[in-house]
Amino acid sequence: MAACGDTRDTVGGSQETAIDSVAESSSEESDSSENQTDADGTEDSGQGGAPEGSGTIVVTGMDAAGEPIEVTVPYKPERVVVLDLANLDILDNLGLGGCVVGAPTITLPYLQSYNDELPIVGSVKTPDLEAVMACEPDLILMGGRMAEYMDSLGEIAPVLRLTTVSDEGLVEAIRANAQTVGAIFGETEHVDELLAQYDAQIAALAEFAQGKTCVLGMSTSGSFNLLGNDGRCSLIVNEIGFDNIGVDAAAAGSDSGRSGGHGSRDEGNEEESSGRSGSGEGSEGEGSSESGNDASGSAGVTPTHGNEVSFEAIVALNPDYIFVMDRDSAISATGAQLAQEIMENEMVMKTDAYRNGNLVILENPGIWYLAEGGITSLGIMLSDLEKALLD
């Protein structure tokens, strides 16, 4: 790992063009004042700048209930424990991986070196509080999961919780989070550039999606759950532009209609893999709502894992495309039935989507399920869609 604050290539090396641009300016960034944020970056991120000579900065995060809250954190912290993969991805892309002193169990290859080089501080569902404390962090960075641990973690170090809850969609949520993280380190200059590399991909996919209907779903435990426009895989609807005609059925457990945003991404209790640190085999939690618990029954929010529907309902909807994220593969569930096996049944075969070869099993479910909200992960998700739709 590079020294904290030094720019380095991403672990996975999948965003070479954008990271090269970051690397070219690293010498200038490292010469900047240790106690002053980049003026343009602070303005873009909406965060309060750190006064000259100050050791802290005020930024906006989420509290345990999913409400925005101002948080005072160290400016340019040197020891950061990261408890979720999306924010680790962001730090990695900003060249700040050298500041990370502890990370959760990682099953995604492009971030694996952090487990190879650093202490493991639990899973993405459950932190190991003793391991976190042993890292002696200046800052603890977490995502939507683990809301119930915020108080305990706060006794160790300041906690900043960043989620992808946004009415403006996933991409803008990533941008906001990256601007916030960048503001803490005075490294906001390249956030827009890092995301701009995907503009052409999104535009091409959006052109393809015009006038096409779909259903979004998650295969889990042998069943198929419909997803709405405010949770997992909603990139396909909100940014790419498919018409999700299953949205009402997906919200069947909700008290009211759609929120239209990206609001159920505030993960509460998720496990990244069966048998991993902090959980028993197959014991993944169900949280994704702003309260940190399952969102079913919450007005305007799709339940965390969608709503299970019959395959007859899919036939009745008869979408142009069926997109499926294989949750069991994402968490390495032992003995689980694969999404392809679940979906290739005589009922689904009656749909126009299947007849026209438009049953899309997302190639990298671990990314969609565990790292949605990162910069590199966004590129992988878009590549999954390109391969399925444009190749």
> Above 50 in pLDDT, residue 8?
no
173-207: pLDDT as tens digits: 999 999 999 999 999 999 999 999 999 999 999 99
141-153: pLDDT as tens digits: 999 888 999 999 9
For residues 381 and 170, what is the distance between their CA atoms, to the nearest angstrom? Answer: 12
285-307: pLDDT as tens digits: 333 333 333 333 444 466 566 67
The reported pLDDT for the residue numbered 281 is 34
> Above 90 in pLDDT, residue 108?
yes
Work out the average pLDDT over 128-133.
98
The reported pLDDT for the residue numbered 46 is 44
Report the mean per-residue pLDDT for the chain: 80
Q: Where are the beta strands (DSSP E) in the chain?
A: 56-62, 68-74, 80-82, 100-102, 139-142, 159-161, 213-220, 223-227, 243-244, 307-308, 321-326, 359-361
pLDDT category of residue 52 using cuts at 50, 70 and 90: low
Cut 0.85: pTM above it: no
Helix then strand then coil, in percent of the chain rounded to 5, is 35, 15, 50
> Above 90 in pLDDT, residue 45?
no
305 within 8 A of 343, measured Cβ to Cβ: no
Work out the average pLDDT over 160-165.
92
81-106: pLDDT as tens digits: 999 999 999 999 999 999 999 999 99
Residues 6+ positions from 169 with CB-CB distance below 8 Å: 234, 235, 238, 239, 261, 262
Work out the average pLDDT over 249-273.
46
Lowest mean pLDDT among 63-72, 208-217, 282-291: 282-291
> Above 50 in pLDDT, residue 312?
yes
The reported pLDDT for the residue numbered 49 is 53
> Above 60 in pLDDT, residue 21?
no
